[in-house]
Amino acid sequence: MFQYYCLNPISKIGLENFTEEFVNTHDVNEAQGILVRSAAMHDMELSENLLAVARAGAGVNNIPLDKCAEKGIVVFNTPGANANGVKELVIAGMLLASRDIVGGINWVESAKDNPDIAKATEKEKKRFAGTELQNKKLGIIGLGAIGVKVANVAKYMGMEVYGYDPYVSVDAAWNLSRDVKHVLNVEEIYKSCDIITIHVPLLDSTKGMINKEAISKMKDGVILLNFARDLLANEEDVLEGIKEGKIRKYVSDFPNPVTAGQEGCVVIPHLGASTEESEDNCAKMAVKQMMNYLKNGNIINS
Ligand code: MLT
């Protein structure tokens, strides 16, 4: 028998894939396997029983990788399993930034008791006018599972798409629309794109990559999106860029006290992967990985 513990609520459909030798324990110290979404595990004591951590998601920055390596605990993630959910929210993020949907909805809410709301709308709507995505230049930094999907949809929407990734995989290159311009230098994205979206992992080399210096190289009025990881952008520098008019809109899937609620910022409570389908896919993959490892010692990454 094997015992697993869910640190976050994990999709029931995914958990149904566990065979009967696996039981859900409510005592984390008993568990040979932990399933986790984005809850931070850095302060957790890792018991001697623990053999594997399966992250139902892509990013592993919530897991103490060094501590796990020291104790020989295997860490899995589920690359690509929620890429479709994130991609769809990124596209929504671009639309939220280019059309003042949030401002418009808030205004309607505030005017809901006005019996002449239709007339009032005619007077007000000019200030919510936006711009279109078609023919705009989109820069995608990071051409992994999500970046590639965003590129292909953006292409269909008539955008001119530029992609940058120093480690583009054969798979990604194959799945990427032939019309995406793969640039060899991130500066090219900064200087030429109207909208920039980041899809890289959080590493020492990427932490704070969207900072004052990077922003200064961008086009005036750029729209910036971060649906990848918290801390990739220096939020103070972003806010300053907004105040100076350099950044037109910042859309982030990572609530942060600096940018939350600020003019020019659209902040979403980390919902990229929060769809039924993505949650089920991630949980199924994480369960499969954990079973394979605990039962057979096999390490699979799909
Ligand atoms: C991910 O890294 O894939 C996301 O953070 C998933 C999640 O929301 O749990």
Q: Does residue 32 fall inside a structural domain?
A: yes
Q: Domain total for the chain?
A: 2
Closest residue by Cα to residue 39 from 60, 55, 22, 62: 62
Mean pLDDT of 135-156: 96
Q: Which domain holds residue 35?
A: 2-81+276-296
Q: Measure the CA–CA gap between 105 and 101, rounded to whole angstroms.
A: 6
Do 166 and 37 share a domain, yes or no? no
Do 122 and 156 share a domain, yes or no? yes
The string of pLDDT tens digits covering residues 272-282 is 999 999 999 99
Q: Does residue 92 fall inside a structural domain?
A: yes
The pick from 10, 38, 231 for probing ligand 1's pocket by mutation, whose C-beta has the most ligand atoms within 8 angstroms, reads 38
Do 153 and 259 share a domain, yes or no? yes
Instruction: With cut-offs at 50, 70 and 90, classify the pLDDT of residue 188.
Output: very high
Instruction: Please name the amino acid found at residue 28.
Output: V
* 113 to 9, 110, 117, 120, 173: CA distances (angstroms): 40, 8, 8, 11, 53
Q: Measure the CA–CA gap between 91 and 15, rounded to whole angstroms.
A: 30
Q: Residue 288 Cα, ligand 1 centroid: separation in angstroms?
A: 18
Q: Does residue 21 fall inside a structural domain?
A: yes
38 CA: nearest ligand 1 atom: 9
Q: Does residue 302 fall inside a structural domain?
A: no
Q: Measure the CA–CA gap between 132 and 277, rounded to whole angstroms.
A: 29
59 CA: nearest ligand 1 atom: 2
User: How much is the pTM?
Assistant: 0.93
87 lines ligand 1 (CB under 6 A): no
Do 172 and 250 share a domain, yes or no? yes
CA atoms within 13 A on the CB side of 101: 11
Do 129 and 217 share a domain, yes or no? yes
Q: Measure the CA–CA gap between 104 and 115, rounded to whole angstroms.
A: 18
Q: Write down the mean pLDDT value for the chain.
A: 96
Do 125 and 262 share a domain, yes or no? yes
Q: Residue 35 Cα, ligand 1 centroid: separation in angstroms?
A: 13
Do 120 and 226 share a domain, yes or no? yes
Give the pLDDT score at 230. 94
Q: Per the structure block, which two tokens stand in for 10?
A: 């994990």
Q: Does residue 301 fall inside a structural domain?
A: no
141 lines ligand 1 (CB under 6 A): no
Do 20 and 123 share a domain, yes or no? no
CA atoms within 13 A on the CB side of 182: 18
Instruction: With cut-offs at 50, 70 and 90, classify the pLDDT of residue 11.
Output: very high
Do 44 and 188 share a domain, yes or no? no
Residue 294 has pLDDT above 80, yes or no: yes
Give the pLDDT score at 177. 78
82 lines ligand 1 (CB under 6 A): yes
Do 22 and 166 share a domain, yes or no? no
The pick from 75, 203, 268, 270 for probing ligand 1's pocket by mutation, whose C-beta has the most ligand atoms within 8 angstroms, reads 270
Do 21 and 94 share a domain, yes or no? no
Q: Measure the CA–CA gap between 63 and 158, rounded to whole angstroms.
A: 39
Do 131 and 11 share a domain, yes or no? no
Q: Measure the CA–CA gap between 46 and 273, rounded to whole angstroms.
A: 27
The pick from 6, 37, 226, 277 for probing ligand 1's pocket by mutation, whose C-beta has the most ligand atoms within 8 angstroms, reads 37
Mean pLDDT of 201-227: 97
79 lines ligand 1 (CB under 6 A): no
